[in-house]
């Protein structure tokens, strides 16, 4: 069922977290536009989640920093010249990470994309033309067709970042989209997305914090619908033949240099998938 009809509130919420993480004394990234885009509404939505799930800011910062780094690696090591942001929300990578000859495509549900474009139009200095904007509802549309209609070259490799979206889709939409990415993109492409565990999606045997988090995003109008403890079988069935999965404790250890048991990163992972091994010695 497509439950998504209005501009995404969770997109505004994660934008507020990016604004906050950009103010860390030693930030993992700086998003200079996030503060203005998030505005008081975004910060209020984030503050209300803090009370339920304190590690969210840290989780978000690690996710953004890792995926930012992946853009650089894809351009430098895989010679990729097309970056596709699926379910872009208020993502500003097209403006923050420009590279000569690299095109950014932002794909999103029409309701959220319209709200974003209105916001960007009001932001002094924002390079609106840094991205090509493509509307697509993953519950019923083919992202490759939508991209191709906007000048995306399906015969050239792409990095696809699908950040903070998969949990909000039905399994059917996750499968349909992943299948189109595996079959419709150039096989040298790389897909990256984060996902939550099965129990969180199903609402079974959860801690009070996880239960409240799940209920809260549902109240925002974007219930968590899909989770998995192991993406490999689904990605295999969709056509991928190279899969890696990273956990957030590993990312925290690498990017922050420490591990804390109480961070509650038990349910969140990032998956990387490709139709073939990206290059020799790819991590």
Ligand X SMILES: C[S@@+](CC[C@H](N)C(=O)[O-])C[C@H]1O[C@@H](n2cnc3c(N)ncnc32)[C@H](O)[C@@H]1O
Residues in contact with ligand X by CB under 6 A are: 2, 4, 8, 10-11, 14, 87-91, 108-109, 112, 136-139, 163-165, 168-169
Residue whose CB is less far from ligand X, 135 or 188: 135
Q: How far is the CB of 196 from ligand X (least distance, A)?
A: 12
CB-count burial class (<10 Å; 0-12, 13-18, 19+) for 61: buried
Q: Rounded CA gap, 57 and 261, in Å?
A: 16
Residue whose CB is less far from ligand X, 4 or 103: 4
Q: Rounded CA gap, 274 and 134, in Å?
A: 23
Residue whose CB is less far from ligand X, 11 or 178: 11
Residue whose CB is less far from ligand X, 59 or 168: 168
Q: How far is the CB of 283 from ligand X (least distance, A)?
A: 22
CB-count burial class (<10 Å; 0-12, 13-18, 19+) for 21: buried
Where is 270: in which H helix or E strand?
Answer: strand 268-274
Listing DSSP states for 22-64 in one string gives HTSSS-S---TTHHHHHHHHHHHHHHHHHTT-TTHHHHHHHHH
CA dihedral (227, 266, 206, 19) in degrees, to 10, reads -80
Q: What does the angle CA 100 – CA 105 – CA 108 come to, to the nearest 5 degrees?
A: 155
Do the Cβ atoms of 94 and 12 come closer than 8 Å?
Answer: no
Do the Cβ atoms of 143 and 86 come closer than 8 Å?
Answer: yes
Q: How far is the CB of 140 from ligand X (least distance, A)?
A: 8
Where is 173: in which H helix or E strand?
Answer: helix 171-184
HSE of 194 in the Cβ direction (CA atoms, 13 Å)?
Answer: 20
Q: How far is the CB of 222 from ligand X (least distance, A)?
A: 7
Residue whose CB is less far from ligand X, 85 or 252: 85
Q: How far is the CB of 279 from ligand X (least distance, A)?
A: 26
Q: How many CB atoms are closer than 10 A to CB 121? A: 9
Q: How far is the CB of 277 from ligand X (least distance, A)?
A: 26
Residue whose CB is less far from ligand X, 8 or 119: 8
Q: How far is the CB of 231 from ligand X (least distance, A)?
A: 18
Q: How far is the CB of 42 from ligand X (least distance, A)?
A: 11
Residue whose CB is less far from ligand X, 148 or 242: 148
Q: Rounded CA gap, 41 and 197, in Å?
A: 28
Measured from each CB, the residue nearest to ligand X is 89
Residue whose CB is less far from ligand X, 59 or 240: 59
């Amino acid at each position: 069922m497509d439950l998504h009809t209005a501009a995404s509130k969770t997109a505004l919420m994660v934008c507020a977290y990016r604004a906050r993480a950009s103010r860390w004394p030693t930030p993992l990234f700086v998003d200079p536009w996030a503060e203005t885009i998030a505005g008081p509404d975004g910060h209020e939505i984030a503050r209300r989640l803090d009370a339920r799930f304190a590690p969210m800011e840290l989780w978000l910062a690690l996710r953004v920093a890792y995926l930012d780094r992946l853009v650089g690696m894809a351009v430098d090591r895989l010679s990729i010249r097309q970056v596709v942001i699926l379910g872009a929300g208020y993502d500003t990578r097209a403006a923050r990470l420009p590279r000569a000859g690299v095109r950014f495509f932002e794909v999103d549900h029409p309701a959220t994309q319209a709200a974003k474009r209105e916001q960007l139009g009001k932001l002094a200095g924002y390079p609106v033309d840094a991205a090509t904007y493509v509307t697509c509802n993953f519950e019923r549309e083919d992202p490759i067709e939508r991209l191709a209609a906007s000048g995306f070259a399906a015969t050239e490799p792409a990095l696809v970042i699908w950040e903070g979206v998969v949990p909000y889709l039905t399994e059917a939409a996750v499968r349909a989209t992943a299948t189109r990415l595996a079959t419709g993109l150039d096989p040298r492409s790389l897909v990256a997305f984060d996902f939550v565990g099965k129990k969180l999606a199903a609402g079974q045997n959860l801690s009070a914090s996880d239960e409240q988090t799940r209920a809260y995003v549902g109240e925002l109008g974007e219930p968590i619908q899909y989770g998995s403890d192991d993406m490999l079988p689904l990605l295999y069935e969709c056509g991928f033949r190279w899969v890696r999965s990273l956990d957030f404790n590993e990312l925290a250890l690498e990017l922050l240099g420490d591990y804390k048991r109480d961070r509650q990163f038990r349910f969140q992972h990032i998956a990387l998938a490709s139709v073939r091994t990206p290059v020799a010695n790819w991590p």
